[in-house]
Amino acid sequence: MALERKDVENIAHLARLSISEADIPEYARNLSNILALVEQMSVVDTNGVSPMAHPLEASQRLREDTVTEADQRGHFQAIAPAVEAGLYLVPKVIE
Amino acid sequence: MHNKSLTELSTGLIAGQFSSEELTRHFLDRIDRLDGQLNSFITVTAEQALTQARQADTRRNRGEAGPLTGIPLVQKDIFCTNGVRTSCGSKMLYNFIAPYDATVVARCNDAGMVMLGKANMDEFAMGSSNETSFYGPVKNPWDTAAVPGGSSGGSAAAVAARLTPAATGTDTGGSIRQPAALCGISGIKPTYGRVSRYGMIAFASSLDQAGPMARSAEDCALLLGAMAGFDPRDSTSVEREVPDYRATLGNGLKGLKIGLPKEYFGAGLDPAVGQAVQAAIDEYRKLGAEVVDISLPNTGLAVPTYYVVAPAECSSNLSRMDGVRFGYRCENPKDLEDLYKRSRGEGFGAEVKRRIMIGTYALSAGYYDAYYLKAQQMRHLISDDFRRAFEQVDVIMGPTSPTVAFNAGEKTDDPVAMYLADVYTIAANLAGLPGMSIPAGFVNNRPVGLQIIGNYFDEARLLNVAHQYQLATDWHQRMPHGFE
């Protein structure tokens, strides 16, 4: 499947990645080559084969619904780019 | 001192031949003098190491030392280390001072080990040559024109050059085994779920696994014993007792059934590498093993399958790098979308962005069935191949890598060529099986690795099989020139 410029732009938007205009053709080429590699799977008949999401077919382990962690917000926020009053600061979202 | 194995260092410390502080200073001095040629470290933690070393010596004087107490170690920079920068080889985390220890790190610290620093690696563990690191490429100590392999290239190079007696690595598609092979050292990727992933920066959550890298199977056995075990903080951690991996190292190999998949010895394998591996198999025949030809028919689809599953999972895991709570944030973001896009666009390197985009595409509406679902079905078929093989044989062997170390820059223009370097290692990650690489010779002075794949939770057998070979041969004791 060959990807075109608008495909790359669309995927980059979904992934929230800025890609410069100049780089788009190279990404389109590399991604198309990777998809060509991946498409080799399509020749194999997988009718009736169940998908394997986990190597050991395990399911989510559960525990008692009790509080076990301490409040470390201050400690974790010490490395944030911008915080105020316990909140992470970002550019205005709502006009 | 730097030529001693972990076991010899442990014995030396117990006998009082040297203190942990002396040992640590020795390695810190070597790193200072020699790592400029390799770039295997992103962060060296000299002060902290000396503090840990003194504490280890105090513990020893009080009679409270264990086998690993006071032994130096390097942690791959993918493990969160409390108070110490954890960069994952990326600009995105250039300033990330981890606020907690990964379980692997905590266990090494509890065992009394001394952390020399954080090893360089391919960015976010994505790569097979340690050329994608934001902190510069790592060189192979056997030939500095060559790559050390990746993504645990820094760990492998540091061990090979004896800048550290051991290191931790991680393996998602071969990232412990392939650099171990290219650098002539021993490394093991345990069964999925054997070692905790808590605090290990996630790349592909259903494939990632941490493991030891050292200069022998015996040393790996010692370190794996400290690293492995159930962790309630990792929901994929398996509740299964950890055996004493050293106890069975000495078992004889008479009657061991070794499977050689015909798909691992066909097109794409460098003939000289193939010969070295066949010579290693002959050694095993001499040790009493029986060699059986087997087939893993879906081997050719392992790389395509992986390059859907791993990017899909990485696109999800790396969505947490958003410039909001930690790490790199772009300058003067004009709105939230700009904050996300430019922080991520500027913070991530090209290979990481490629994989995020492939993953995003594979998971997007309209493509999920054709790519991700299909890959998960392929994964089942690939695992079934191994299950059938292990009904006939005890272990599977073959080359770890189709070639010896290639030169820096040789594959950086063609991502797909780089991906094909993982052809023999990837299937074990997809199936969740344990795999090991040990040195088995040289081609043009560059090391060759023998890969040994085992059944689920059969790490003790892998280490035993590897150790017996290392008693009969000395490839693992060879050392690169210039790092004496």
Question: Which of these is catalytic: B10, B76, B152, B437?
Answer: B76
A37 vs B380: CB contact, 8 Å cut-off? no
Chain A environment of B329 (Cβ under 8 Å): 81-82
B257 is catalytic: no
CB contact set of B152 (below 8 Å; sequence gap of 6+): B76, B119, B121, B167, B169, B170, B171, B175, B176, B179, B187, B213
A81 vs B99: CB contact, 8 Å cut-off? no
Per-residue confidence (pLDDT) for residue B417, from 0 to 100:
86
Single pTM value for the model? 0.97
Per cent of chain B over pLDDT 70 is 100
Name the amino acid, one letter, at B266: G
**Residues B428-467: tens digit of each pLDDT:** 999 999 999 999 999 999 999 999 999 999 999 999 999 9
Q: What is the bridge-based pairing of β-strands B257-261 and B395-399?
A: parallel
Question: Which of these is catalytic: B175, B186, B216, B237?
Answer: B175
Options 3.40.50.300, 3.30.70.2190, 3.90.1300.10, 3.40.50.150; CATH of B6-256+394-477: 3.90.1300.10
Chain A environment of B232 (Cβ under 8 Å): 63
B235 is catalytic: no
Q: Give dist(CA B253, CA B241) in Å, integer.
A: 24
Burial grade of A46 (CB within 10 A; 0-12, 13-18, 19 or more): middle
Q: Give dist(CA B195, CA B105) in Å, integer.
A: 11
| Nearest in space to B362 (alpha carbons), one of B406, B400, B305 | B305
Residue B277 backbone dihedrals phi, psi, to 5 degrees: -65, -40
Q: How many C-beta atoms surround the C-beta of residue A85 within 10 A?
A: 5
pLDDT surpassing 80 at residue A1: no
Judge contact between B206 and B313, C-beta under 8 A: yes
Judge contact between B409 and B139, C-beta under 8 A: no
Judge contact between B266 and A92, C-beta under 8 A: no
Q: How many C-beta atoms surround the C-beta of residue A78 within 10 A?
A: 12
Chain A environment of B422 (Cβ under 8 Å): none
pLDDT surpassing 80 at residue B355: yes
Judge contact between B157 and B151, C-beta under 8 A: no
Q: Give dist(CA B453, CA B435) in Å, integer.
A: 4
**Residues B127-159: tens digit of each pLDDT:** 999 999 999 999 999 999 999 999 999 999 999
Name the strands in the sheet holding B257-261, side by side, starting at the edge strand that comes first in the sequence.
Answer: B41-44, B114-119, B72-76, B166-170, B210-214, B186-189, B435-443, B446-453, B395-399, B257-261, B290-294
Q: Give dist(CA B102, CA B391) in Å, integer.
A: 37
Per-residue confidence (pLDDT) for residue A60, from 0 to 100:
86
The answer to whether ipTM exceeds 0.85 is yes
Per-residue confidence (pLDDT) for residue B18, from 0 to 100:
97
Q: At what angle do helices B6-14 and B217-227 cross, to 10 degrees?
A: 70
Per cent of chain B over pLDDT 90 is 96
Q: Point out which residues pair with B437 in neighbouring strands.
A: B187, B451
B383 is catalytic: no
Provide the token pair at B215. Answer: 């200069």
- The minimum CA-CA distance between B373 and chain A, rounded to whole Å, is 7
- Residue A59 pLDDT class (50, 70, 90 cuts): confident
B370 vs A58: CB contact, 8 Å cut-off? no
Burial grade of B130 (CB within 10 A; 0-12, 13-18, 19 or more): buried
For chain B, what is the mean pLDDT?
97
Which run of H or of E encompasses B54? helix B46-61
Burial grade of A80 (CB within 10 A; 0-12, 13-18, 19 or more): middle
Burial grade of A74 (CB within 10 A; 0-12, 13-18, 19 or more): exposed
B416 vs A37: CB contact, 8 Å cut-off? yes
ω into B151 cis (within 30 of 0): yes
**Residues B299-343: tens digit of each pLDDT:** 999 999 999 999 999 999 999 999 999 999 999 999 999 999 999
| Nearest in space to A79 (alpha carbons), one of B318, B84, B327 | B327
Domain ranges for chain B: 6-256+394-477, 300-375
**Residues B87-134: tens digit of each pLDDT:** 999 999 999 999 999 999 999 999 999 999 999 999 999 999 999 999
Per-residue confidence (pLDDT) for residue B118, from 0 to 100:
98
Domains and CATH numbers, chain A: 5-41 (1.10.20)
**Residues B200-228: tens digit of each pLDDT:** 999 999 999 999 999 999 999 999 999 99
Burial grade of B323 (CB within 10 A; 0-12, 13-18, 19 or more): buried
Query: Which of A1, A37, A38, A75 to probe the B interface (max B CBs under 10 A)?
Result: A38
- B166 versus B369: which is more confidently predicted? B166
3-state secondary structure of B354: helix
pLDDT surpassing 70 at residue A95: no
3-state secondary structure of B407: strand
pLDDT surpassing 90 at residue B178: yes
Q: What is the 3-state secondary structure (H, E, C) of A2-46?
A: CCCHHHHHHHHHHCCCCCCHHHHHHHHHHHHHHHHHHHHHHHCCC
Output the CA–CA distances (angstroms, integers) from residue A5 to A12, B75, B234, in the order listed.
Answer: 11, 41, 40
pLDDT surpassing 80 at residue A94: no
Per-residue confidence (pLDDT) for residue B255, from 0 to 100:
95
**Residues B21-68: tens digit of each pLDDT:** 999 999 999 999 999 999 999 999 999 999 999 999 999 999 999 999
- Residue B468 pLDDT class (50, 70, 90 cuts): very high
For B142-256, strand residue ranges (E) read 166-170, 186-189, 210-214
Mean predicted confidence (pLDDT) in B382-409: 97
Judge contact between B148 and B446, C-beta under 8 A: no
Mean predicted confidence (pLDDT) in B371-381: 94
Chain A environment of B342 (Cβ under 8 Å): 18
